Amino acid sequence: MEVSTVEWLPSSSPVQLPDPNHPAPEPSRLLAAYRAMVVGRRFDAQATTLTKQGRLAVYPSSRGQEACQVGAALSIGAQDWLFPTYRDSVALVTRGIDPVEVLTLLRGDWHCGYDVPSTRTAPQCTPLATQTLHAVGLAHGEARKGRDTVALALIGDGATSEGDFHEALNFAAVFRAPVVFLVQNNGYAISVPLAKQSVAPSLAHKGIGYGVRSEQVDGNDAAAVLSVLDTAVAHARSGGGPFLVEAHTYRMEAHTNADDAGRYRSPDEVEQWRQRDPIDRQERQLRESGHLDDTAVEQIAAEAEEFAVQVRSRMQAEPSTDPADLFRHVYAEPTPQLTEQLAQLRAEQEAL
């Protein structure tokens, strides 16, 4: 298929709606996105509190990135696959996965708390960008079987500096794998600012060198994120190959509860992004279009609060774990070293 490189270049600035090239989603989807963002933010705040209560080992907040999280989950269907990172818990909750199962990894109970095949959601990935190759492989395999499955891989701006990301783009382009890469550019790879990572015009431009159609979008404009991702998913599903989307957004909280963001960014910078809050913007747009009123806002807020109450209550229950699980499922046949270590563990337990 002959393709004009110009057509595949990202826009000169992040897409915002209204935009003649990107239709606005139906009001019902925008309302669903608003509800999911409100519930997701309350879940995020509750999870952050659980770290302070010792119920979670760590929690990477995505406060401020809700439009990206929710947009990703709502842009794909139940038959598609999602490949998330450690920061994408709100996307998983939006996808309908049990929130306590989502937090199992971060509590340290198990490698992944939810059923991966039935949810068609890969385990949350901590190493940067490794899941992008998994996404490409799965998508390529599904296409070879004649299925129209799309894989959507979530990554941060820091992951675009990793070799796996570039290998994934090249593999996906060569084999025309139906993958959407959504880069949530929140400005920092932990504490490293974007300017220390890349001098490209945008991270979306990194797709062009591999022959991957690309676009950049205002990641705090939920309607624009949905519209651009709709285009990307349709492109991949129709056989057009991979699509790279860069969403410009901002992480309002620290990298994790173990980080001090005040050491590398200023209060003024945070305040500037607070003025672009994705939930406030979406609420304002829905009110102006007559699709949201005070009663609905109060109902959704109450629903979010009840959601958090249930998460908090269920997370107070002590999980049942077996330390020997550390040695299971590592290899089909345990190595002599693992067998020895397991024996040492059992001896120590018996001596207690």
Task: Give residue-wise pLDDT tens across range 270-299.
Answer: 999 999 999 999 999 999 999 999 999 999
**Cβ atoms within 10 A of the Cβ of 138, count?**
20
Contact 331, 338 (CB under 8 A): yes
Whole-model pTM: value is: 0.94
Q: Is the peptide bond before 18 cis (omega within 30 degrees of 0)?
A: yes
Q: In what order do the strands lie in the sheet with 179-185?
A: 81-83, 151-156, 179-185, 243-248, 213-218
Rounded to 5 degrees, what angle do the CA atoms 127, 15, 36 make? 60
Q: What is the pLDDT of residues 337-352, one digit of tens each?
A: 999 999 999 999 999 8
**Whether pLDDT at 3 is above 60:** no
**Confidence grade of residue 308 (pLDDT, cut at 50, 70, 90):** very high
Helices and strands, number each (H, E), in the chain: 14, 7
Average pLDDT, the chain: 95
**Whether pLDDT at 2 is above 60:** no
Which pair of tokens denotes residue 239?
A: 């056989």
CA distances from 85 to 88, 285, 333 (A): 6, 30, 29
CA–CA separation, 327 vs 334, rounded Å? 8
pLDDT of amino acid 107: 92
pLDDT of amino acid 98: 98
Half-sphere exposure of 234 (CA within 13 A, CB side): 7
The 3 state secondary structure assigned to 64-131 is CCHHHHHHHHHHCCCCCEEECECCCHHHHHHCCCCHHHHCHHHHCCCCCCCCHHHHCECCCECCCCHH
Name beta bridge partners: 244.
181, 214
User: Mean of the pLDDT values across residues 62-69?
Assistant: 98
User: Mean of the pLDDT values across residues 232-246?
Assistant: 98
User: Mean of the pLDDT values across residues 310-315?
Assistant: 97
